[in-house]
A = this chain, B = another copy of it.
Amino acid sequence: MRGDYGTAFPALRDAAGKVWQDYTRHAFVEGLRAGSLPRKAFLGYLVQDYIFLIHFSRAWALGVTKAETLEEMRACAATVEALVNHEIALHLRTCAEAGLSEADLFAAEEHPANLAYTRYVLDAGHSGDFLDLLAALAPCVLGYGEIGARLLPELRPDHPYADWIATYGGPGYQQVCRAAGALLDGAIARRLGPDPAATPGWARLCRHFTTATRLEVGFWEMGMAARPLAPADPAA
């Protein structure tokens, strides 16, 4: 089952090829699905995901500065607002339930796989235009939607990762994905016209989408290899 979030997303996903499977069918994901993912891996992922959300919010805010229409600005601003006020708060609650305090999160050192991902997305935005940024943002937003939609139907209530699956498979997040897909389609139509894959700009979008997908794989790898929490750099 694959996410159906507009027109551009499936084309970018196809262009990414096998790496999209590596991401959305990663052992980490299959572990979440089966409930067999080690708790340590999940907690390690949660800690890094907190830092990820901070920088992902920054990247959506960069989108506001690069948008060309009021509608594009509003879509990005709404995402920033949702991330910094709701998602991060929700994330803190999930972490607390898992036994991780805010102090644990603040003390965590940002993993290179995490750094690589968010700073790449930010640089895609700084070096390119609004579309470059959106193409680099899309794999996270829409891939999580696709994973959630695939895992939700087989979810049993006593599943150890029920909350995670219910969040990303649920109607709220699926609506976020449809809106993000529509934002992407509209932004592409405005800038590349009715046949974007035939324009020279298309290859650049594919490159950003594929690289960001590759960095998602690295993020799951980091989760699988998570060690007990390391204290942050004392100079930080």
Contacts and interface: CB of A to CB of B under 8 A. Distances in A.
A57, A77, A203, most chain B CB atoms within 10 A: A77
A126 interface: yes
Contacts of A123: 119, 122-123
Given A61-B77, A85-B74, A113-B116, A200 B193 contact: yes
A74 B84 contact: yes
Contacts of A73: 54, 57-58, 61, 84
Interface stretch (A150-158, A159-167, A205-213): A205-213
A1 interface: no
Contact of A120 (B115, B190, B209): B115
Interface in A188-202: 190-193, 199-201
Contacts of A30: none
Interface residues of A, number: 61
Contacts of A70: 54, 84, 88
A61 to B, nearest CB: 3
A38 to B, nearest CB: 23
Contacts of A184: none
Interface of A: 15-17, 19, 54, 57-59, 61-66, 68, 70, 73-74, 76-78, 80-81, 84-85, 88, 110, 112-113, 115-116, 119-120, 122-123, 126-129, 132, 190-193, 199-201, 203-204, 206-207, 209-211, 214-215, 218, 233-236
